[in-house]
Structure 1
Amino acid sequence: MERPYEAAGIGRVRTKKRWFMLTLLFILTAINYLDRTNMAVAAPSMSRDLGFDAATMGFLFSAFSWSYGIMQIPGGLFLERFGSRLTYTVSLFFWSAFTIVMGFGRSFASLFGIRLAIGMAEAPAFPTNSRVVAAWFPDRERATATSVYTAGEFIGLAFLTPVLFWVLENYGWQEIFYITGIIGVIVSLFWHHLYRDPAEYKGVNEAELAYIREGGGLAEKAGSVRHISWRQIRELFAHRQLIGVYLGQFANTSTMYFFLTWFPTYLIVAKQMPMLKAGIFAVIPYIGALCGVLLGGRWSDYMLKKGASLSKARKLPVVCGLLCSMTIMAANYADSFHEVIAIMTLAFFGQGMAAIVWSTVGDMAPADSVGLAGGVFNFIGNLAGIITPIVIGFIVQATGSFVGAMAFIACVAAMGVFSFIFIVGDIHRIEPHRTE
């Protein structure tokens, strides 16, 4: 059957530059999550050296998400105004520079303030990821593309967490921040040099542009400068489908933030693991999350290719993933360390599989507000980054154990299952009805 771009006389062999751009997203996402979780590795030594109790560490863990969440909508506005290339350059450079400064913090106030600055600088990152994928990929490849860059979160954590523990053991917690920050500053320059939107990139041919455009990607529309109105912002809170997706992201992010903040401390304090051994075994759940991310994306796109509806293809992996995350509560009844790691791996696997919820933003958001919708979506989801570390900190401080913390995470995951089954409804591109 002749494709539209072939009928138009466009070359039959299309380039594959979208996969190069996805590789760049993968690298930046790996750095993003390394800079989010480096404090989790440093936390046991930081709390001991600086005299912080569990409740104090909970607030310090949450500092990133206070500013990260608040700046999502402004970050989305910045993205729509200045585009993906400049937005990611500025974001990555500044969050990496602030990460270096973390190594100089000595008080709760200074460390809290620096983490606020890191969160503020990172705010546009995932909305930019969503916008780049929506620009470069057609619908049938978007979940796979989302899963690939999301895999960067866990590959970086899985393979570099033991390295960070080694740095911690041999040099100290400050050096963790120096090393990870310098890497990010350097990579920000490479991104600015290499990334372009489809219409601006000389290496992409018309056949690939047509393939993206005919498949529902934004292609040439991605590089246009947009002025956002308050009416567009209100539109993103006026649809049940989007509200349900926001709640699902909140639930999935709650599980993620346990692993990004308290998980190393949980192994060392609750399970009495030596520091280096905890660093090695912590890799296993991260690998589980990586497998979940890759499976979720491939499964979703496979269902689409086999004729499943977009709603089924997107919702089923998310629901199954959140159900797996609920099993984290079983760790309360596990005696051996190997059982605990197996349970944690299944829970983090589920969190990874449900991470394709990000692709639903590109599927559902109004075409003129994809970046802004990503900002709203990430703002709601990352309220969990504020709430979860603080709640866990108070639970541990009050009870002296993580039992209540596991129950809390399981209940939030159950809320996400309810949201995707009963609130989200049909997944489709929303066409807003605006009156002038």
Structure 2
Amino acid sequence: MFRYFIIFCTFLLALLLYIDRICISVAKAPIVADLQLTEQQMGWVLSSFALGYALLQTPSGRLVDRFGPRRVLSGIVTFWSLLTALTGYAWNYVSLLIIRFAFGAGEAGAFPGMARATLSWIPMQERGLVTGINFSGSRFGAAFALPGAAWLIQAYGWRTAFLMLGVVGIGWAVAWWLLFRDDPQQHRLLSRPEKDHILAHRQQLEPVQLQTEPSDRVLQKPEVWFAMGQYFCSNFTFFFALTWLYPHIQEKFSLGAVDAGWLGSIPLLAGAFGNWFSGWLVDTLYRKGHVNSRVIPAAIGFFLSALGLLLSVWQESVGGAVFFLSIAIFGADMTLPPSWAFCLDIGKERAGEVSGTMNMAGNLGSFVTGLAFPYLKGWTGSVTPFFFVGAILNLLAAFLWLRNRRTQPTNMDVAINA
């Protein structure tokens, strides 16, 4: 079925997103040596991406809602791929800081664009699993990038590695422009039975609402603020895996670059499976008419994440540390399918804007993570306070989900057991 090909394309996009994103963590040592950076300066470089990514989430979501995911995704993937290549030409701290901020701003529209494509192409009863598959692509991409980028950087140097990744991204953008259409009804390769199935089972939209409900009013809804708060906590944990996990285990356990890459990839693979499991659980509970089809997977995920972070602190072997960090990332990623499904439920025609706003708050959490790890370590001489902060935020997010039960889809025009 053609919609599965579209899912495969968005899966590849998520894969590319995180290969481009995590490569700088693997390249930390040669970048620091070449540009003569401190740990705190590298923290600002990592966080500058998250800040640019966060600030452009809502505007990029509005662009997707207005111009469609075909044009927006093709454009922004080309833009950030050029900036990926440009990273290899950074000559000092300030230039690297600016490039990575702009790179983050360029990537901002990716997941809102995928969310808008999901709204148009995917039946509601498949929504959770599709979201899980897309986010698992980002985890597989990050997991592959750790050992793969370590080898690439050793073989060709960090500057050439970024240039090669930029070329791959431009290739994806061209293919998306040629193969995707914003609405299934516009696609010539889609069969009539599949087209009818999608139109009958996707969320029913009301175009008049898009014209009459101002953006400010949409973003004042308490459900949107709830989504933002819990996602801030989720990203605080996961961004550690993208930034400081690799150098943390490499330095603490005196590992070689490639060995640290393979071990650091394990928690990211666990995150991919967390996405799949949670997406399946969201859809299963939804089909059964369970009122908490979003609450249960998210709450379980946050509790697991808190537990994994706490238990990782007292591990003296790299195997034990990686095992419990894998539990933490598995749990953190369990929170993604219910979060994004919830945004589609309440956003409807403004799905790109609502999901982008939630992602903005989440990446402010990422911005804090990138700085919290090196600064807390520098102030206290230990990484333990960082993991305790992460555990507390996860428990807070679990409490938010359990307290806010208004997470059943509000537009029940699709039969529960369809």
Place the TM-score, normalised by the shorter chain, in its bin: over 0.9
Q: Does 1:161 align with 2:142?
A: no
Over the aligned positions, Cα root-mean-square deviation in angstroms equals 2.1
Q: 2:2 aligns with which of 10, 14, 17?
A: 17
Instruction: Report SS of the residue matched to 1:196.
Output: coil
**What's the counterpart of residue 81 of structure 2?**
96
Q: Deviations over 1:129-164 (max 9, x none)?
A: 111111111211000110111111112222332111
**What's the counterpart of residue 434 of structure 1?**
none
Q: Deviations over 1:116-138 (max 9, x none)?
A: 11111111111011111111112
Tell me by how many angstroms 1:430 deviates.
Answer: 7.1
Q: How does 1:189-208 map to 2 (within 5 A)?
A: 189-197=174-182, 198-208=184-194
Q: 1:329 aligns with which of 310, 335, 359?
A: 310
**What's the counterpart of residue 15 of structure 2?**
30
Structure 2: how far apart are the matches of 1:73 and 1:57? 27
**What's the counterpart of residue 60 of structure 2?**
75
Tell me by how many angstroms 1:424 deviates.
Answer: 5.2
| TM-score, structure 2 normalization | 0.93
**What's the counterpart of residue 267 of structure 2?**
285
Structure 2: how far apart are the matches of 1:132 and 1:161? 29
Structure 2: how far apart are the matches of 1:260 and 1:62? 11
Q: Deviations over 1:388-433 (max 9, x none)?
A: 11111211222233111111211111121111111353433379xx
Structure 2: how far apart are the matches of 1:52 and 1:281? 26
Q: Deviations over 1:261-287 (max 9, x none)?
A: 111111112232221210111121111
Structure 1: how far apart are the matches of 2:286 and 2:113? 25
| TM-score, structure 1 normalization | 0.89
Q: Is the 8 A contact 1:81 1:226 kept in 2?
A: no
Tell me by how many angstroms 1:57 deviates.
Answer: 1.3
Q: How does 1:2-151 map to 2 (within 5 A)?
A: 16-151=1-136
Residue ranges of structure 2 left out of the alignment (5+ in a row): 413-418
% identical aligned pairs = 25
Q: Deviations over 1:101-125 (max 9, x none)?
A: 0001021110010011111111111
- How many residue pairs are counted as aligned between the two chains? 409
**What's the counterpart of residue 201 of structure 2?**
215
Structure 2: how far apart are the matches of 1:253 and 1:376? 14
Structure 2: how far apart are the matches of 1:379 and 1:296? 22
**What's the counterpart of residue 217 of structure 2?**
235
Please identify, of 323-332 and 257-266, the stretch whose mean Cα deviation from structure 2 is larger.
323-332
Q: Is the 8 A contact 1:77 1:228 kept in 2?
A: no
Residue type at the aligned position of 1:40: S
Structure 1: how far apart are the matches of 2:145 and 2:367? 25
Instruction: Report SS of the residue matched to 1:401.
Output: coil
**What's the counterpart of residue 13 of structure 1?**
none
Residue type at the aligned position of 1:292: G
Residue ranges of structure 1 left out of the alignment (5+ in a row): 1-15, 432-436
